[in-house]
Structure 1
């Protein structure tokens, strides 16, 4: 499976956002139209409350949030155990 750099993906997203079709980009640059469609969903910038976010940003934040929640649960359990011994 061919791996494409984030810069390459973003350049195709920009070209699509300027009016080029998925099929046209796929024929010219190689990745499938479905891959390009997925990249457009992932890299298109959305503005929320004056801040710009991509789906990749949201995915990264969700992953970080899950990790932090897990760490919080571990710390809560550790606090309960430590309080039993003090």
Structure 2
């Protein structure tokens, strides 16, 4: 027969990751909960990557908003210049 893998809920995984982030070691968590160290490392890495991706997107959004504000300001300047040149004719 094939080996069956144990399934953990997302809440349980998040609890283990939080305990690790608060200072518990993989060995301590393994002793307490019986979860393989490699499994916990995957959860911690996945959580870290998820957070890093979000932060990168937030900075990208801020950059886009800043560029948008500059373009709107330039657009207003061009509208005013156009109205000045239109009156001269």
Q: C-alpha separation between the residues in 2 aligned to 1:49 and 1:43?
A: 16
* Aligned partner (choices 28, 31, 55) of residue 27 of structure 1: 31
Q: Which has the larger radius of gyration?
A: 2
Q: TM-score, normalised by structure 2?
A: 0.51
Q: Would you say how many aligned residue pairs link Structure 1 and Structure 2?
A: 51
* Aligned partner (choices 34, 38, 43) of residue 47 of structure 2: 43
Higher helix share: 2
1:49 CA drift (Å): 4.4
Q: What is the root-mean-square deviation in Å for CA atoms of aligned residues?
A: 1.5
Q: Which runs of 5+ in 1 are unaligned?
A: 52-86
Q: Which runs of 5+ in 2 are unaligned?
A: 60-89
Q: TM-score, normalised by structure 1?
A: 0.53
Higher strand share: 1
